[in-house]
């Protein structure tokens, strides 16, 4: 909201610079966001008359004008073309300095001498308008100093009013705050005027059918109006507040809106059938055209102002076309009313139509001040539009209520704030805020809340008033005391933090993507999941239209985008929620862990040039998952071959923990990678975090450190290609005595000598007893048994050598 | 062989190993001590003559012999192979890059969240979390936000087909915790929130907040200020102070906005703080009695404070990130800087 300081000063006396005032307001809860100076001293700027206009021979877009400054004609080159011969405009002469700092010099423009400048509004710091030069009335003599036309410079605050303070959405409301802050009295303008017309109830009728939507409606009638421009001072104030002047009647309603925050509406009295106003709800299917020329169709249940045949206004939001003030208007019915905030909000939101009026009504105007505003506007119309006011007012006020009374306990104020405010100070603050102190007892007072403060409902609201007027700088920062809530448990969060630390310890970098993504990105990875997708009904854009049901699409995309930035190795992880829609449309959330590898991420040391093959990258990511599982104390993790829509066939495995699937890993399909121009394989794992964080705080139970030496034996064997490591392990474990404490695959190789579709696998086995030192004979005996089992069950050809 | 003898042979072996100057000499030492006919097989053979109750100790000593002498030989071999002793000077290129897998990095948003948990953890706050998909009741109504408040509009809030919504703040977690237990409550609630903002340098439709709630007997605004002042110094550095400005939030009364001293200029005024010396960080206040009423707390017996802060904002200010979008672009060149 824009607030010119000169206007404030009409209602409240204070002695402070704009900066001091802004500071005081900001620290009492009314944030001053900007302090703007409009206009300037305009030295060297006069009203110039345009005498001739010619085209510039050297430039199509320039004009050459002779401009009279009251004494002589001066040649000026001008880029604008929004004027004619005889027009008058602010003319900055050579030597002038404009508010924006520009100095006017005599200069040549494309070879033509230019001795001054015709100014646009922005160059004069009057507005942001640079649409052409500013034109002033032709009645003003050339040579008049422009400062006389523009008036002195003005300081205008840009103020942010919080939602709970509709009373501050006006100059008087702000003045009331300032009066409280400076401890001075608010001065209200006079609303007295002569009522020379007929009694109003003879001239008009109000039928208020909807007391819920409209708890108060007033109407005045003003006749014999002469439409003309409003007075200069009023136009200037409107302009400073960003409202365009139109004519005296419209300007007066806007002026009173800005002044006291009460939206008014002026109907052309003659265009109201039977001079009758009906306040009612819209019917289903009813429609009307609003002032902006738009046909509004969904008026069902909206509060409407109607005459006996048609709606004439969308109550509290916008007038209707066909009943508004026009060039022929002579008689006016002036509406001032209070509309129910939720109703206005609903209609405004449904129609997507927000106005200065609806903005105030939906926050709540001063129901007690409705008639004051009407009188104020009527008085201004009598004075500035030659209006004849009808006698009296139609004031239908079914929603009238007694003012709310709130008990304010002094000790409560002090204990909530932690500030030692004296009783008298509390009572004083209430009075400064124009709250009536109805009773002042030993330990409390009773505050009667005026209608302009609908936000004050309970004692806590009064505590806030004391806090902000007394000053929050009085609140000391008490050194905090640690305090333990014994049964609180945040172990899951700590387990996730541990998981994150383990992943970074494994050399992975954490990424973070949005919870929503485009359908296109989801489809790029898979479309088998469509039924589980939660689609947003009102996304910000199609890029963020579906909640993610997997972290994999974002991971692929992140790797791909990094590759496009020439980052060709990456080891990334993300921990985040996925959202899944069930068959009954209910939505569930799961925390997932996703790991993604690209390039030589798993290769340490040299030989970086050797391309990464699928086998390598698969084993790296499997290694990460195994390490993470170990670090998170997840036992019994097994990997089983699986199919996955996003993974290459044969290169995907499902991760099982305690016999239940909890994730997937694998090498991403080439046709998916291709969309990001990723040529080398990338690997991704996705794990349900719940399984991986549930066990981390398990207590370690120390096992004895072995005291007897271990004996190790190697076995190398040639087997068919189809034999898997897991098969070998299974057989070894079955055949081994309990002294077998370790099995490690240490080599695989293939060669012509071994033969096609065959491979040599070499394992190192460790035997150790907890009770004695094993002899070579013991070890040999165990080892032979294992070799026999491998021979028999795998058709393995044992390679003897060691 | 007695245990003492084994020990003595071990010491000799280590000394001899240390003294050798060439690889052939070293090989001779190896054969002597752990070769097929050396000391080690003899020692192992001796095991069977040892009485059962001495066997464990004998085994341990034998094992130690094998390990100590073996590793001394390996080390010496590496040393000689590198040429150090042979030529009197090393040709090893110590300037080659070290080889070990590098450390990863936490995302700056995670780092700020974890740091916040740590700071408040010292004061006895525990973490509470809740769903991202919330009910209108928990996100708005229970927090004293009237049904016609603009934040409920579907221009501001992501409403879902189920009638639920994506939470616009982590405050619903406070409600859920209070619904579930009696005071005292001392929690912080980090988490992801959503608002229908068009993304630009300072706005993101998907963002993170951490809120705090303390409900107990005799909690005051002064306690809140002290707690936030402690957090400010721990998070942003010594000398960072807190000031309050009055504000409005539906769920607190009084409501304040908390500014921290600009840690860049120390309060003198700079580009980061727009010359004010202060940076707006948190919204806070005393829990509105109307909220307590919703969760069945007696606001005469208990008072409480609540506060909320944007994680992205803290990360941006702390790390000098000037565009919120960097936090979600996941450019490795950005993330790497947080190792
Ligand atoms: Zn600064």
Q: Is B16 among the domain residues?
A: yes
Sheet bearing A45-55, strands edge to edge: A73-78, A63-68, A45-55, A88-92, A117-118
Whether B156 and B40 map to the same domain: the answer is no
**Residue A605, both tokens:** 């040391």
**Residue A104, both tokens:** 């006017």
pLDDT exceeds 90 at position B23: no
Q: Is B50 among the domain residues?
A: yes
* pLDDT class of B45 with cuts at 50, 70, 90: confident
Report the distance separating Cα A390 and Cα A333, nearest Å: 10
The CA A478 to ligand 1 mean position distance, Å, reads 25
Q: Which residue is associated with the tokens 């400073």?
A: A240
Contacts of A55 (CB under 8 A, 6+ apart): A62, A63, A64
User: Hey, are the CB atoms on A482 and B229 less than 8 Å from each other?
Assistant: no
Whether B25 and B153 map to the same domain: the answer is no
Percent of chain A with pLDDT over 70: 100
DSSP β-bridge partners for residue A749? A760
Whether B273 and B140 map to the same domain: the answer is yes
Which B residues 7-66 touch A at CB under 8 Å?
44, 47-48, 55-56, 58-60, 62-63, 66
Number of domains in chain B: 2
* pLDDT class of A802 with cuts at 50, 70, 90: very low
Q: Is B236 among the domain residues?
A: yes
- In the three-class reduction of DSSP (H, G, I as helix; E, B as strand; rest coil), residue B254 is classed as strand
pLDDT exceeds 70 at position B89: no
Whether B189 and B320 map to the same domain: the answer is yes
Burial of A291 by CB count in 10 Å (0-12 exposed, 13-18 middle, 19+ buried)? middle
pLDDT of residue B115: 97
Compute the average pLDDT of residues B211-220: 97
pLDDT exceeds 70 at position A7: yes
pLDDT exceeds 50 at position A42: yes
Whether B36 and B169 map to the same domain: the answer is no
Interface test with B, best of A350, A421, A464 (most B CBs within 10 A): A464
* pLDDT tens, residue by residue, A330-342: 999 999 999 999 9
Report the range of poorest mean pLDDT among A504-518, A733-747, B66-80.
Answer: B66-80
Helix (H) or strand (E) holding A411: helix A410-417
CATH superfamily of A200-396: Phenylalanyl-trna Synthetase, Chain B, domain 3 (3.50.40.10)
Kindly state whether B123 is in contact with chain A, defined as any CB-CB distance less than 8 angstroms: yes
Asked whether this chain's domains A2-39+155-182 and A404-474 adopt the same fold, the reply is: yes
Cα–Cα distances in Å, from A22 out to A26, A29, A365? 6, 11, 25
Percent of chain A with pLDDT over 90: 81
Report the distance separating Cα A154 and Cα A152, nearest Å: 6
Range of the structural domain that residue B243 is part of: 108-338
Which B residues 271-330 touch A at CB under 8 Å?
286, 288-290, 303, 327-330
**Residue A527, both tokens:** 């479309």
Whether B249 and B326 map to the same domain: the answer is yes
Mean pLDDT of chain B: 91
Q: Is B97 among the domain residues?
A: no
The CA A121 to ligand 1 mean position distance, Å, reads 34
Which of the pair, A41 or A417, is modelled with greater confidence?
Answer: A417
Compute the average pLDDT of residues B65-82: 85
Q: Chain A: residue nearest B126 by CA? A: A490
Mean pLDDT of chain A: 93
CATH architecture assignment, domain A404-474: 2-Layer Sandwich (3.30)
Whether B310 and B263 map to the same domain: the answer is yes
What angle (nearest 5°) sits at the alpha carbon of residue B305, between those of residues B302 and B306?
135
Report the distance separating Cα B84 and Cα B78, nearest Å: 10
Kindly report the CATH number assigned to the domain that includes residue B157: 3.30.930.10
- In the three-class reduction of DSSP (H, G, I as helix; E, B as strand; rest coil), residue A712 is classed as strand
Compute the average pLDDT of residues A728-746: 93
Contacts of B17 (CB under 8 A, 6+ apart): B26, B29, B69, B72, B73, B76
* pLDDT tens, residue by residue, A253-284: 999 999 999 999 999 999 999 999 999 999 98
DSSP β-bridge partners for residue A657? A637, A660
Selection from B182, B186, B208 nearest residue B195 by Cα: B208
Task: Tell me the whole-structure pTM to 2 decimals.
Answer: 0.85
- Domain end (from B86, B120, B154): B86
Contacts of B128 in chain A (CB under 8 A): 490
Whether B115 and B76 map to the same domain: the answer is no
CB A77 within 8 A of CB A62: yes
The CA B116 to ligand 1 mean position distance, Å, reads 22
Q: Residue A432, by phi and psi: left (phi above 0), alpha (psi -120 to 50) or beta?
A: alpha
What's the CATH class of domain A711-799? alpha beta
Contacts of A255 (CB under 8 A, 6+ apart): A230, A234, A237, A238, A380
Q: Is B99 among the domain residues?
A: no
pLDDT exceeds 50 at position A118: yes
* pLDDT class of A515 with cuts at 50, 70, 90: very high
Whether B263 and B158 map to the same domain: the answer is yes
Which B residues 128-147 touch A at CB under 8 Å?
128-129, 131-133, 146-147
Compute the average pLDDT of residues A584-605: 93
Q: Chain B: residue nearest A571 by CA? A: B104
The CA B264 to ligand 1 mean position distance, Å, reads 5
ipTM given for this complex:
0.87
pLDDT of residue A578: 97
Q: In chain A, what are the domain boundaries?
A: 2-39+155-182, 45-152, 200-396, 404-474, 491-693, 711-799
Closest-CA distance, B87 to chain A, in angstroms, reads 27
Contacts of A413 in chain B (CB under 8 A): none
Q: Is B180 among the domain residues?
A: yes
Whether B214 and B302 map to the same domain: the answer is yes
Compute the average pLDDT of residues A578-595: 96
- In the three-class reduction of DSSP (H, G, I as helix; E, B as strand; rest coil), residue A141 is classed as coil
Whether B200 and B51 map to the same domain: the answer is no
Percent of chain B with pLDDT over 90: 63
What's the CATH class of domain A2-39+155-182? alpha beta
Q: Is B171 among the domain residues?
A: yes
DSSP state of A97: B
CATH superfamily of A491-693: Bira Bifunctional Protein; Domain 2 (3.30.930.10)
- The partner residue sitting opposite A417, judged by closest CB among B132, B206, B220, is B220
* pLDDT tens, residue by residue, B142-185: 999 988 888 888 889 999 999 999 999 999 999 999 999 999 99
Helix (H) or strand (E) holding A343: helix A341-351
Interface test with B, best of A162, A418, A481, A513 (most B CBs within 10 A): A418
pLDDT of residue B87: 57
User: Hey, are the CB atoms on A488 and B147 less than 8 Å from each other?
Assistant: no
Selection from A565, A663, A676, A678 nearest residue A621 by Cα: A663
- In the three-class reduction of DSSP (H, G, I as helix; E, B as strand; rest coil), residue A46 is classed as strand
pLDDT of residue B90: 66
Q: Is B192 among the domain residues?
A: yes
Compute the average pLDDT of residues A310-328: 93
Report the range of poorest mean pLDDT among A591-600, A726-735, B78-87, B232-241.
Answer: B78-87
Burial of B191 by CB count in 10 Å (0-12 exposed, 13-18 middle, 19+ buried)? buried
Q: Which CATH number fits domain A45-152: 2.170.140.10, 3.60.15.10, 3.90.1150.10, 2.40.50.140?
A: 2.40.50.140
Compute the average pLDDT of residues A135-158: 90
Q: How many Cα neighbours within 13 Å face the side chain of A795?
A: 7
**Residue B43, both tokens:** 């020692």
* pLDDT tens, residue by residue, A621-677: 999 999 999 999 998 899 999 999 999 999 999 999 989 999 999 999 999 999 999
Compute the average pLDDT of residues B3-29: 88
Cα–Cα distances in Å, from A13 out to A1, A30, A471? 21, 18, 21
The CA B261 to ligand 1 mean position distance, Å, reads 8
Q: Which residue is associated with the tokens 């700590």?
A: A494
DSSP state of A512: -
Whether B41 and B190 map to the same domain: the answer is no
User: Hey, are the CB atoms on A162 and B248 less than 8 Å from each other?
Assistant: yes
Compute the average pLDDT of residues A394-405: 95
Closest-CA distance, B21 to chain A, in angstroms, reads 31
pLDDT of residue B117: 98
pLDDT exceeds 80 at position A701: yes
Closest-CA distance, A535 to chain B, in angstroms, reads 8
pLDDT of residue B20: 87
Selection from A432, A31, A367 nearest residue B248 by Cα: A31
pLDDT exceeds 80 at position B91: no
* pLDDT tens, residue by residue, A412-451: 999 999 999 999 999 999 999 999 998 889 999 999 999 9
């Amino acid at each position: 909201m824009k607030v010119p300081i000169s206007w404030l000063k009409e209602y409240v006396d204070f002695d402070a610079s704009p900066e001091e005032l802004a500071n005081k307001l900001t620290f009492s809860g009314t944030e001053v966001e900007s302090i703007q100076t409009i206009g300037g001293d305009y030295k060297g700027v006069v009203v110039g008359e345009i005498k001739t206009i010619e085209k510039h021979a050297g430039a199509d877009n320039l004009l050459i004008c002779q401009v009279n400054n009251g004494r002589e004609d001066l040649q000026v080159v001008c880029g604008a073309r929004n004027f004619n011969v005889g027009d008058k405009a602010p003319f900055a002469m050579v030597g002038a300095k404009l508010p924006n700092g520009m100095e006017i010099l005599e200069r040549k423009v494309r070879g033509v001498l230019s001795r001054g400048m015709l100014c646009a509004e922005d160059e004069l710091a009057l507005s942001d308008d640079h649409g052409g030069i500013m034109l002033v009335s032709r009645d003003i003599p050339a040579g008049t100093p422009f400062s006389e036309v523009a008036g002195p410079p003005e300081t205008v605050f840009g103020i942010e009013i919080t939602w709970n303070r509709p009373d501050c959405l006006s100059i008087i409301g702000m003045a009331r705050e300032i009066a409280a802050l400076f401890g001075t009295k608010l001065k209200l303008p006079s609303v007295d005027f002569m009522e020379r017309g007929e009694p109003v109830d003879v001239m008009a009728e109000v039928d208020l059918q909807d007391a819920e939507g409209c708890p108060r409606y007033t109407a005045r009638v003003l006749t014999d109006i002469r439409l003309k421009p409003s007075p200069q001072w009023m136009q200037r104030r409107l302009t400073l507040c960003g409202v365009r002047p139109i004519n005296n009647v419209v300007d007066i309603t806007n002026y009173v809106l800005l002044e006291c925050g009460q939206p008014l509406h002026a109907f052309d009295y003659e265009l109201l059938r039977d001079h009758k106003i009906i306040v009612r709800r819209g019917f289903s299917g009813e429609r009307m055209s609003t002032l902006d020329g738009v046909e509004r169709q969904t008026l069902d249940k909206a509060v409407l102002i109607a005459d006996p045949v048609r709606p004439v206004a969308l109550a509290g939001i916008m007038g209707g076309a066909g009943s508004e003030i026009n060039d022929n208007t002579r008689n006016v019915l002036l509406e001032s009313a209070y509309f129910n905030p939720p109703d206005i909000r609903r209609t405004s939101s449904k129609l997507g139509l927000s106005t200065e009026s609806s903005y105030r009504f939906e926050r709540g105007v001063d129901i007690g001040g409705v008639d004051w505003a009407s009188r104020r506007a009527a008085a201004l119309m009598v004075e500035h539009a030659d209006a004849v006011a009808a006698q009296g007012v139609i004031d239908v006020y079914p929603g009238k209520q007694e003012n709310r009374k709130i008990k304010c306990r002094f000790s409560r104020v002090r204990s909530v704030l932690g500030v030692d405010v004296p009783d008298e100070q509390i009572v004083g603050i209430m009075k400064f805020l124009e709250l009536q102190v109805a009773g002042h007892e030993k330990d409390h007072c009773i505050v009667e809340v005026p209608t302009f403060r609908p936000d004050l409902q309970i004692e806590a609201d009064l505590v806030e008033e004391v806090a902000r007027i007394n000053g929050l700088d009085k609140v000391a920062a008490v050194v905090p005391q640690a305090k333990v809530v014994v049964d609180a448990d945040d172990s899951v969060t700590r387990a996730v933090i541990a998981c994150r630390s383990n992943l970074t310890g494994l050399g992975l970098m954490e990424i973070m993507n949005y919870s929503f993504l485009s359908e296109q990105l989801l489809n790029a990875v898979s479309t088998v999941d469509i039924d589980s997708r939660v689609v947003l009904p009102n996304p910000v854009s199609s890029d963020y239209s579906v909640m993610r049901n997997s972290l994999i699409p974002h991971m692929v995309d992140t790797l791909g985008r990094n590759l496009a930035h020439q980052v060709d190795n990456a080891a990334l992880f993300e921990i985040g929620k996925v959202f899944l829609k069930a068959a009954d449309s209910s939505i569930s959330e799961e925390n997932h862990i996703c790991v993604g590898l690209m390039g030589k991420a798993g290769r340490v040391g040299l030989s970086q040039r050797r391309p990464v093959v699928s086998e390598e990258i698969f084993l790296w990511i499997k290694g990460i998952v195994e390490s993470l599982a170990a670090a998170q104390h997840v036992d019994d993790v097994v990997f089983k071959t699986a199919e996955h829509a996003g993974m290459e066939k044969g290169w995907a495995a499902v991760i099982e923990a305690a016999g239940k699937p909890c994730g997937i890993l694998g090498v991403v399909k080439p046709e998916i990678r291709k969309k990001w121009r990723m040529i080398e394989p990338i690997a991704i794992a996705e794990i349900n975090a719940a399984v991986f964080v549930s066990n981390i705080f398990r207590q370690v139970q120390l096992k004895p450190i072995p005291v007897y030496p271990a004996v190790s034996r190697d076995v190398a064997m040639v087997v068919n290609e189809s034999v898997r490591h897991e098969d070998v392990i299974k057989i070894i474990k079955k055949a081994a005595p309990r002294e077998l404490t370790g099995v490690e695959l240490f080599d695989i190789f293939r060669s012509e000598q071994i033969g096609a579709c065959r491979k040599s696998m070499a394992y190192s086995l460790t035997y150790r007893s907890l009770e004695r030192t094993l002899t070579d004979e013991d070890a040999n005996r165990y080892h032979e048994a294992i070799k026999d089992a491998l021979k028999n069950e795998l058709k393995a050809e044992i390679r003897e050598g060691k | 062989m007695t245990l003492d003898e084994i020990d003595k042979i071990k010491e000799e072996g280590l000394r001899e190993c240390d003294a050798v100057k060439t690889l052939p000499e070293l090989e001779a030492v190896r054969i002597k001590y752990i070769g097929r006919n050396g000391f080690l097989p003899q020692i192992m053979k001796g095991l069977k003559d040892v009485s059962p109750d001495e066997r464990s100790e004998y085994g341990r000593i034998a094992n130690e012999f094998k390990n100590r002498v073996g590793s001394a030989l390996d080390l010496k071999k590496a040393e000689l192979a590198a040429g150090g002793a042979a030529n009197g000077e090393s040709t090893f290129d110590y300037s080659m890059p070290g080889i070990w897998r590098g450390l990863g990095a936490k995302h700056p948003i995670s780092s700020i969240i974890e740091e916040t948990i740590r700071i408040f953890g010292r004061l006895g706050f525990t973490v509470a979390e809740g769903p991202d998909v919330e009910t209108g009741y928990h996100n708005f109504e229970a927090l004293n936000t009237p049904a016609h408040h603009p934040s409920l509009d579907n221009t501001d809030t992501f409403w879902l087909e189920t009638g639920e919504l994506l939470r616009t703040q982590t405050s619903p977690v406070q409600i859920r915790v209070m619904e579930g237990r009696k005071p005292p409550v001392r929690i912080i609630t980090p988490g992801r929130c959503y608002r229908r903002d068009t993304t630009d340098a300072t706005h993101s439709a998907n963002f993170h907040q951490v809120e705090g709630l303390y409900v107990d007997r005799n909690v005051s605004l002064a306690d809140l200020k002290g707690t936030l002042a402690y957090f400010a110094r721990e998070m942003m550095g010594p000398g960072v102070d807190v000031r309050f400005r009055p504000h409005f939030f539906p769920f607190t009364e009084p409501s304040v906005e908390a500014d921290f001293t600009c840690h860049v200029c120390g309060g003198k005024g700079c580009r980061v703080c727009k010359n004010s010396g202060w940076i707006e960080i948190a919204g806070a206040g005393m829990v509105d009695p109307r909220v307590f009423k919703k969760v069945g707390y007696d606001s005469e017996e208990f008072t409480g404070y609540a506060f909320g802060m944007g994680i992205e904002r803290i990360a941006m200010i702390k790390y000098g990130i000037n565009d919120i979008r960097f936090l979600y672009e996941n450019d490795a060149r950005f993330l790497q800087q947080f190792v």
